[in-house]
Amino acid sequence: MSCLALNRLNIMTDQSALLAFKSQFEQEPGNVLARNWSSDTPVCSWTGITCSSRHLRVAAINVPNMDLSGIIPPQLGNLSFLVSLDLSGNKFHGGLPQELAKLKRLRVNPPSLSNISKLETLNLKSNLLESMIPAEIGDLHNLKRLVLGENNLSGPIPASIFNISTLEAAAFTSNSLSGNLPANMCRHMPNLKSFSVAFNQLHGHIPSTIDECLKLQTLAFEYNQFTGPVPKQIGNLSMLEILYLGNNNNLKGEIPAEVGYLPNLEILSLSADGIRGPISSFIYNISTLQELYLDENNLTGNLPQIYVLRLPSLQGLYLSANKLAGSNPRQLGNCSSLVEIYMDENMLTGEIPSEIGNLLNLEILVYDKNQLTGDIRLQSSISQP
């Protein structure tokens, strides 16, 4: 196919996307775009459209203050050369389609988005967005989902975002964000169900008022620079299912017993956090627990014996690189859901219990760098490598 034919095909793709956008307009008082955006004229001459001189593709859509209303269609995700999007001063509603995440050249996060007052979803994940998060996002008073992960954003999370009372999910994962979280971060977000700031450079303490977000189901703070203790108030989050606090944080102290009060917790991660002391027996009250990550800490004491019977759903047990001592619980063989066990780099003594051979789902068993003795007498139900 010739370059000329290919360019025409590409610009036709852009034209189709823009015509789909126009078809969603519920009102346009001046009918400027209704008359001007037509397949009878070249796309690059349309009002509000700017094309790149090199690729002859749509690079910018600037239609501010035109009193437009309607939804933003997924076809805009086909504008692969789009760099700038200005929809300020209009009345669009609904959410931004997930297809906009495909626009890798969209380098600006227009503050003008804050003027789309009925916006419910803002998803700009996996782009090349830079600089700081605009404080104007806090003006989106109907926003339910805010997803800004996997970009190059820096600076603090604007305090205004924590005033969006309608917010149900906020994800800032994998950026270069810094600063502290507000001490009262949950005061104005009663509907928040998911909050993730993993893989950033946030520091300070985890707010002790975190339990004011009573509907939280997922909380991810791992791979930051948080310090201080694990707030015992986390134990009040009765709907919490996933709790990631580990890896590259610098949390101190013991695991609060209140964590054992979480009746729906499925994943608990406190890896590489500097946590010390014995493993609280209260953890073994969480009958819903599926994955327990306590590796690379300073845990001491013996492994509990009878308590492990209370974890019927446990699939992954990760206790590597601690200072745990004593013998292995024989009751571990009754946790029939276990798939992975990592007990390496501790000070465990005695024999590996033969009862572990009853674990028909077990795929990985790691006990190296301990002080085990005796014979290997596992039952034949564990497959040979």
Instruction: Let me know if the fold of 1-94 is the same as that of 95-372.
Output: yes
Question: For residue 5, is pLDDT > 70?
Answer: no
Q: What is the pLDDT of residue 113?
A: 59
pLDDT of residue 379: 58
Q: Is 1 or 288 the better-scoring residue by pLDDT?
A: 288
Percent of the chain with pLDDT over 90: 47
- Average pLDDT of span 306-311: 64
Q: What is the pTM of this model?
A: 0.74
Output the six-digit token pair for 55: 């690729």
Of residues 235 and 139, more confidently modeled = 235
CATH topology of domain 95-372: 3.80.10
> What pLDDT digit, counting tens, does each position of 121-162 carry?
887 787 667 778 888 889 888 889 999 998 889 999 999 999
pLDDT at 202 over 80: yes
> How confident is the model over 341-352, as pLDDT tens digits?
999 999 999 888
For residue 32, give both structure tokens.
């400027």
Q: What pairs with residue 85 in β-bridges?
A: 61
Q: Which pLDDT does position 94 carry in this prediction? A: 67
**What does the domain layout of the chain look like in residue ranges?**
1-94, 95-372
Q: Are 242 and 220 in contact (CB under 8 A)?
A: yes
Residue 302 DSSP one-character state: E
Domain 1-94 grouped into CATH 3.80.10.10: yes
196 vs 100: which has the higher pLDDT: 196
11 by DSSP, 3-state: which?
helix
* Residue whose C-alpha is closest to residue 80's, from 105, 63, 61, 60: 105
> Per-residue confidence at 303, pLDDT binned at 50, 70, 90?
confident
**How much is the pLDDT for 384?**
43
Reduce the DSSP state of residue 137 to 3 states and report it.
helix
Q: How confident is the model at residue 8 (pLDDT cuts 50, 70, 90)?
A: low
The DSSP code sequence of 243-262 is EE--SS-EEESPPPGGGGG-
pLDDT interval class at 260 (50, 70, 90): confident
How far is it, in rounded angstroms, from Cα 180 to Cα 156? 7
Question: What CA–CA distance (Å, rounded) separates 62 from 195?
Answer: 33
| Mean pLDDT, all residues of the chain | 86
* 79 or 305: which leads in pLDDT: 79
Would you state the pLDDT for residue 115?
A: 54
Residue 111 has pLDDT above 60, yes or no: no
Residue written as token pair 């036709």: 12
